[in-house]
């Protein structure tokens, strides 16, 4: 099934049913574990990782007796405090100056006691939390994109479901190119449309990055991996543009008189090319040597 057909089906689906949001990342930058499900994270090379909490969000809101925490790193050895590893007494982990060699599974085992009030009998309970952390690097350039969708309301679960489905569709569109969506976000706003009054719209933004897990596989037969990743991200950009063009076509040709409450806003797709801020990069392109800026800016 083509991606634009799938999204059309989802837009109709959202008017009737929805799904629960599962989020381990809180507004204060803490990332909680999720029992039975590895939590995946991506950390830019040489940045500090988010703070990983050896606990799930529900458990963190309850009283815990005599908790202990054991963190195991990618080399299957217990992690201890050093100049790169920071572990607090409450089981929070942060990896400083994240390197490619730091990528891999991080596992924490939480142990605590339950005490019966009547007999003071103690029982030890253990819970394991798994995290998968991947380093990513800045490409020669990447693309920041923005798009808008109408919605019934700024409240409710449907907006979040649309956002997650859209991200999944875009990731699938370019999975064979080792590209993926990073830093996705959205906000809901009231928009005054001439002759239509106020409507609700989702303002969605994301970045396309050519270093999805497994990206090295595309470079095995090439001496210049940068050429491969640059070519791939250009193809990814073209596919995403075509995808949103198809959304505009659907809006004008396939919905006839009945339009779903959530649909793509024509001419809202916006693309900006961002160059890496690497010393010397871009000198032949007339860019400022200390960082780069946008080299392309257009919308469809």
Mean of pLDDT values over 90-117: 93
pLDDT interval class at 285 (50, 70, 90): very low
Of 284 and 74, the structure prediction assigns the larger pLDDT to 74
| Mean pLDDT value across residues 59-84 | 93
- CATH class assigned to 140-276: alpha beta
Nearest CA to 149 among 3, 241, 262? 262
Q: Above 50 in pLDDT, residue 279?
A: no
The per-residue pLDDT for 263 is 81
Q: Is the pLDDT of residue 106 over 70?
A: yes
Does the pLDDT of residue 292 top 80, yes or no? no
Q: Report the alpha-carbon distance of residue 11 to residue 15 in Å, rounded.
A: 7
CB burial readout 51-75, b (16+ within 10 A) else e: bbbbbbbebeeeebeebebbbbbee
Predicted confidence (pLDDT) per residue in 239-255, tens digit: 999 998 888 776 666 55
| Percent of the chain scoring above 90 in pLDDT | 45
CA distances (Å), origin 21, targets 50, 158, 161, 171: 20, 10, 7, 19
Domain ranges of the chain: 21-137, 140-276
| 269 or 7, which is more confident | 269
What pLDDT score does 212 carry?
83
In contact, 34 and 58? CB cutoff 8 Å:
no
pLDDT of residue 253: 63
Q: What value does the mean pLDDT of the chain take?
A: 79
Q: What is the pLDDT of residue 218?
A: 66
**pLDDT at residue 131 is higher than 90:** yes
Residue 174 has pLDDT above 70, yes or no: yes
CATH code of 21-137, in short, is 2.60.40.10
Average pLDDT for 148-157:
89
Q: What are the respective helix, strand and coil percentages of the chain, to the nearest 5? A: 25, 35, 40
Buried b (16+ CB within 10 A) or exposed e, 155-167: eeebbbbbbebbb
Q: What is the pTM of this model?
A: 0.51
């Amino acid at each position: 099934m083509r991606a634009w057909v799938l999204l059309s089906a989802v837009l109709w689906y959202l008017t009737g049913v929805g799904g629960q949001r599962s989020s381990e990342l809180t507004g204060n930058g803490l990332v909680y574990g999720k029992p039975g499900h590895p939590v995946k994270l991506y950390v830019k090379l040489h940045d500090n990782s988010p703070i990983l909490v050896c606990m799930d969000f529900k458990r963190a809101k309850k009283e815990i007796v005599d908790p202990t925490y054991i963190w195991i790193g990618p080399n299957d050895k217990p992690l201890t405090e050093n100049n790169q590893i920071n572990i607090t007494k409450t089981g929070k982990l942060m990896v400083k100056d994240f390197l490619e060699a730091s990528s891999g599974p991080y596992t924490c085992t939480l142990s605590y006691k339950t005490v019966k009030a009547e007999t003071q009998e103690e029982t030890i309970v253990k819970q394991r939390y798994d995290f998968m952390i991947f380093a990513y690097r800045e490409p020669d350039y990447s693309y920041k994109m923005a798009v808008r969708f109408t919605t019934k309301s700024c409240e409710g679960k449907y907006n979040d479901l649309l956002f997650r489905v859209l991200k999944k569709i875009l990731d699938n569109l370019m999975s064979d190119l080792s590209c993926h969506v990073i830093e996705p976000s959205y906000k809901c706003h009231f928009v005054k449309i001439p002759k239509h009054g106020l409507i609700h719209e989702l303002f969605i933004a994301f970045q396309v990055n050519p270093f999805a897990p497994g990206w090295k596989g595309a470079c095995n037969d090439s001496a210049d991996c940068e050429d491969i990743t640059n070519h791939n991200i250009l193809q990814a950009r073209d596919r995403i543009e075509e995808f949103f063009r198809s959304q505009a076509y659907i809006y004008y040709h396939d919905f006839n008189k009945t339009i779903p409450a959530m649909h793509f806003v024509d001419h809202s797709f916006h693309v900006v090319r961002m160059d890496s801020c690497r010393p010397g990069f871009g000198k032949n392109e007339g860019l400022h040597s200390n960082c780069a800026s946008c080299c392309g800016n257009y919308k469809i």
